[in-house]
Amino acid sequence: MLALRKHESVRKLLGLDDAKESGSREAVEAVFNKIDTDESASLTLEELNAYVKPLLPDASEAPPPAIPPPTATTPEAPPPEAPPPEAPPEGGAKMQSAFVFVKPHANVEAVCELVKKKFGEVGVSVLSDGTYDGSVIDANKYIDQHYFAIASKATIKKPAELNVPADKFADFFGEDWETVKAENRTFNALDLQTELGLTPDALEQLWDATNADNKTRIKFGGGFYCGMITVEDKKYYTFNAFFMRMRGKFTEPGKSIHYFVVEFDPSVLSWSDFRGKVLGPTNPAEAPADSLRGLLYSGWESLGLAAAPDTGDNGVHASASPFEGLAERTNWLASEYSLASDPFGSMLIAEGIPETMLKEWCVDPQVTINADGKKGSIFDQLEDLDLGACIAKCKELAAMQ
């Protein structure tokens, strides 16, 4: 019976090992002591129970709470790791910035309010805005710098500063380029207009009469045209005179633009959507109905415009890339933005692109665009790229120069 005392199932049944109160434990031990002196070799459960019951405490007394058997515990899980910090957008800054202006033919209060409303709907923030009248645009040559690739030949540079291929000039016009310069018969379009006392419209008519068929106009390169205009039997040579009519739309008395410096998050609005969906394509007739150019095209009369917008007078201009935004801010708002202080310009400089190179790029020169030495417009290479991609492309192009 000593074995019975030690038998695990019996001890569990009697609560010997689980009894917490000493009185209960002593009572159960007394049972075993009595059993150990019993001569019987066997003991049924009923008989065992008969021994136990008289010795246990009164059943009316609440037994001590049973101790639940130990259970396997799962080690406490470590706290979840904090998510890694969000990587900054490519280029190291969150927002990308554009320069926008309402063109003179559409610069009325209703259109300016429409532009602000549209920007607010799509998450484009207006950082600043203002107005320039034609006299200021003329005196500072803002529009000339804006269209520098074309305007430089028409209004900014003198003929002697231009890279005129003398052999092509002589072959086409039958005159020596150096002789023409010496006889003071070549002017840029702006100076020729002054020299001959012409209006922009009158000069445009004379220019339109020139063409390759009658040997009065030649193309020397992209955006580089030379035309021969005869006035009172005297032959004059000028360059890109077609620009003067475009210039007059910005500089004539009563003309003005309203500009906006804006920014937007590239993760919310891509540059291509900013131009294609918010602004709309060049031809307003093909623009999405809810784009700015689409809205101007469908509502021009109610907005107070004199005529429906077209491809030339399409209502609103906006930078074609973050880089063009830099070029335009440092032109139109030179007193507020420099290459080094402009947010995007400072990023490019921090990436190791020389400021002198950026200054050259701001007038859209032809640059090396691949390993074979092919040349192309810097603006074209960067068009519609978002902030990070634009910075990466600028670095890639800078390494090729």
Q: Per residue in 321-332, pLDDT tens?
A: 999 999 999 999
Q: Return the bridge partners of 368, or none.
A: 375
Q: How high is the pLDDT of residue 153?
A: 94
In this predicted structure, the answer to whether residue 378 has a pLDDT above a threshold of 60 is: yes
Could you tell me which of 239, 223, 248 has the C-alpha nearest to residue 137?
Answer: 248
In this predicted structure, the answer to whether residue 382 has a pLDDT above a threshold of 90 is: yes
Q: How high is the pLDDT of residue 223?
A: 85
Whole-number Å distance between alpha carbons of 55 and 300 = 107
* Residue entry with tokens 């990023």: 347
- Mean of the pLDDT values across residues 224-236? 96
Confidence band of 36 (pLDDT split at 50, 70, 90): low
- Mean of the pLDDT values across residues 289-316? 97
In this predicted structure, the answer to whether residue 225 has a pLDDT above a threshold of 80 is: yes
Q: How high is the pLDDT of residue 65?
A: 47
Whole-number Å distance between alpha carbons of 40 and 37 = 9
For residue 60, the Cα-to-chain-centroid distance in whole angstroms is 82
- Mean of the pLDDT values across residues 177-204? 95
Q: How high is the pLDDT of residue 87?
A: 36
Percent of the chain exceeding pLDDT 70 equals 77
DSSP 361: H
In this predicted structure, the answer to whether residue 27 has a pLDDT above a threshold of 60 is: no
- Mean of the pLDDT values across residues 370-377? 92
Distances from the Cα of 168 to the Cα of 219, 222, 267, angstroms: 10, 15, 50
In this predicted structure, the answer to whether residue 46 has a pLDDT above a threshold of 60 is: no
- Mean of the pLDDT values across residues 1-25? 46
Determine the angle formed by the axes of helices 343-350 and 322-332, rounding to 10 degrees. 120
In this predicted structure, the answer to whether residue 316 has a pLDDT above a threshold of 70 is: yes
Q: How high is the pLDDT of residue 94?
A: 80
In this predicted structure, the answer to whether residue 279 has a pLDDT above a threshold of 60 is: yes
Contact of 235 with 213, CB cutoff 8 Å: no
More confident residue, 198 or 76: 198
Contact of 339 with 355, CB cutoff 8 Å: yes
Amino acid at site 224? F
In this predicted structure, the answer to whether residue 7 has a pLDDT above a threshold of 50 is: no
Confidence band of 251 (pLDDT split at 50, 70, 90): very high
- Mean of the pLDDT values across residues 100-122? 98
Confidence band of 19 (pLDDT split at 50, 70, 90): very low
In this predicted structure, the answer to whether residue 79 has a pLDDT above a threshold of 50 is: no
Helix intervals (H) in 304-354: 322-332, 343-350
Q: How high is the pLDDT of residue 222?
A: 78
Q: How high is the pLDDT of residue 61?
A: 45
Q: Which residues of 23-54 are buried (b: 16+ CB within 10 A; e: fewer)?
A: ebbebbeebbeebeeeeeeeeeeeebeeebee
Q: How high is the pLDDT of residue 242?
A: 93
In this predicted structure, the answer to whether residue 291 has a pLDDT above a threshold of 90 is: yes
Contacts 24+ apart (CB under 8 A), 91-95: 91/347, 91/387, 91/388, 91/390, 91/391, 92/347, 92/350, 93/343, 93/347, 93/387, 94/265, 95/263, 95/264, 95/265, 95/266, 95/343, 95/387
For the segment 336-349, what is each residue's pLDDT rounded down to a tens digit? 999 999 999 999 99
Average pLDDT over the chain reads 85
Q: How high is the pLDDT of residue 104?
A: 98
